[in-house]
Amino acid sequence: MRVLITGAGGGLGQALLEWLPKQGVEAVGVSHSQLEITDSAAVSHLIGENAPQLVVHCAALTNVDRCAQAPHEALHINGFGTQNVALACQKQGAALCYVSTNEVFDGEGGAPYGEYDPLRPANPYGYSKYVGEQIVREVLPQHFIVRTSWVFAHNGRNFLQRISSLAREGKALSVVTDEVACPTYATDLAEGIAALIATGRYGTYHLTNQGAVSRYAFARAILDAYGMPDYPITPITKAQFNRPSRPPTYSALRNDFAALLGITLRDWQAALAAFIAHEQQKATQA
């Protein structure tokens, strides 16, 4: 199988480029600098030229605060850009795997969300990804929609890396206690997506590392794992955290359908330990 990955410069894109070839898949990646997904002609040309059998669409505007400040930009990239990719896949006869988010849910249910629970986007980022999901469903029957949350990877700058970096710099840390979801290791997510693609069973799936945790408890676990158990973190609420976006309160995802296919990701604590072990190994070899 030949797979094209958009957003290949990001953490998940790079993890897919590393993992898919191990499964005998020919993987080609394109980064933002190589493809502007809002350019419909460029998207159509690139997908036609590469002739993939499936596209994994990772490219997106994922900065939730920027999406809140510029909702039209978020909709342009995450909605219209996804439409361009879906239409190009339709023209090529390729399937599409669209990577979505827990923030298509409002987080007010107080329990983990299943794949087919009602969608109520929590903010402009969530709405833009919700629109992307609807477009994929409308345009292309041969699709996977994979929702995930709190992805951490070995490159880029995500929550895990911000917390550890700020602590090393001796900066004060204040982290919210009332935002709960499932941390997800990009390497595990890539493995799960590869396994899902191999089944050929199109549909909507939730793939996260198992277990839900608050931002505060996750930050505490990060510093404990890095050998900083005494580093102070001040617990605050979302109401005390002044930011443009308001993420959902409880948006843990329940993996029902992938689990029925035998696809589950390990618990988030084990994933965190594996991530840190890999980072420390790289630092030793550098």
- DSSP percent split of the chain into helix, strand, coil, nearest 5: 45, 20, 35
Residues classed as catalytic: 125
Q: What is the pTM of this model?
A: 0.96
**C-alpha radius of gyration, the chain, whole number:** 18
What's the pLDDT tens digit per position in 9-53?
Answer: 999 999 999 999 999 999 999 998 999 999 999 999 999 999 999
Contact 50, 2 (CB under 8 A): yes
- 2-157+183-210+251-267 folds as Rossmann fold (3.40.50)
Instruction: Round to whole Å and give the CA distance between 128 and 108.
Output: 19
What's the pLDDT tens digit per position in 105-140?
Answer: 999 999 999 999 999 998 999 999 999 999 999 999
Alpha-carbon distance values, 184 to 103, 107, 229, 284 (Å): 14, 18, 22, 25
* Predicted confidence pLDDT, tens digits, the chain (286 residues): 999 999 999 999 999 999 999 999 999 999 989 999 999 999 999 999 999 999 999 999 999 999 999 999 999 999 999 999 999 999 999 999 999 999 999 999 999 999 999 999 989 999 999 999 999 999 999 999 999 999 999 986 789 999 999 999 999 999 999 999 999 999 999 999 999 999 999 999 999 999 999 999 999 999 999 999 999 999 999 999 989 999 999 999 999 999 999 999 999 999 999 999 998 887 777 5
Residue 85's SS3 state is: helix
